[in-house]
Structures are given as structure tokens and as C-alpha cells.
Amino acid sequence: MTHKLKNQGPKIALFEPDIPQNTAAIIRTCACLGAKLEIIEPCGFLLTDKRLKRVVMDYMNVEEIEFYPSSNHFFESKKNQRIILMTTKASISYTKFKFEVNDTILFGRESAGVPESIHKLVKNRLKIPMKNNMRSLNIASSVAIILAESLRQIKLV
């Protein structure tokens, strides 16, 4: 059974992604679950990268991905919308948070997260709880966990 969820739920935003295979997996997740994907540039790779194309297969429709030339453009376009930053530096678990239909859920770079200046711009910062001494989950896994929970909460799945 498939679901038509397009543009009815949360948006996933990637801050300057730098690993093409992870971005490809996220594109597939967003396509399959009907979430809009937004990418804040610059990316650490080209969209023609063979590693991206191999993982994304035929799931990528570039016209459906919104690109922002910088974080300034991204935040300007979102000034009246709620942004949630997923970060290992947060103190609140995503399981304790109430997601809303039009949330934009922001994920940082695989190699460095987001700079402190971005942390200061976002009121809602959440984490995925992990066992002690574990650094972080793969970003594609994190997106899948958070997107599934947000869709469950707003009853789109």
C-alpha cells in the first residue's frame, strides 16, 4: 500500500551536506515518505556525483528539492515558520517533543554539524538519545527516525 503525502507534512533540511551517499539515502527516504527535502548549500559534492546517483537510483527529482544558496537565505525564508534542529548537543529528546504539520527539521553536516551561530538561531533543539560513549548515528538513519516519528505524531502514516 502506498500513501500520497506530498507537501502535507514536515520538511527535512540538510545544512551543507558533505557525503553524497547519505544525501542520496535521505532523498529516497523523503521520496518514499512524502516529505519535502531542502538543501542549504554549499554541498560537499556535485549532484552528478556517481556515488549519489548509485544510491538514489530513480528516486531523485531535482525539481522537488528546494536549494538555498546559503543559511542566510534559508533562515530568511523560514522567518515565520518553526525550525527544529537535530543535534547531539541538545538536552531534549525527540520523544518528548510535539511535532507539527509544517515543521522544518534541520540536520547538520555529517562532518561538523552546524556552527554555533546556527544553534543560536533555532529555539527548538532536539536529540536522539543514545547509549553513553556513543558519538552519533548516521545522518540518514537519524532522518528516518525523526521523520517517521513526526509523521506518526501528526497522523500522516
Q: Over 50: is that where the pLDDT of 85 sits?
A: yes
User: Which stretch of 6-15, 88-97, 122-131 has the lowest confidence by average pLDDT?
Assistant: 6-15
Which has more pLDDT, 27 or 9?
27
Contact between residue 114 and residue 40 where contact means Cβ atoms under 8 Å apart: no
Cα dihedral 65, 142, 109, 153 sign: positive
User: Which stretch of 3-7, 25-29, 38-42, 91-95 has the lowest confidence by average pLDDT?
Assistant: 3-7
Contact between residue 63 and residue 31 where contact means Cβ atoms under 8 Å apart: no
Q: Over 50: is that where the pLDDT of 5 sits?
A: no
SS3 54: helix
**Domain 11-153 is of which CATH architecture?**
3-Layer(aba) Sandwich (3.40)
Q: Where are the domains of the chain?
A: 11-153
Which has more pLDDT, 14 or 111?
14
Per DSSP, what are the bridge partners of residue 11?
36, 104
Mean pLDDT, the chain, whole residue set: 87
Closest CA to 124 of 71, 150, 88, 85: 85
Mean pLDDT throughout 15-42? Answer: 91
Mean pLDDT throughout 23-38? Answer: 90
Q: Over 80: is that where the pLDDT of 112 sits?
A: yes
Give the angle 146-148-154 at the CA atoms, nearest 5°: 100
User: What ranges make up the beta strands (E) of 50-95?
Assistant: 65-68, 83-86, 92-93
Q: Over 90: is that where the pLDDT of 52 sits?
A: no
pLDDT at 106: 98
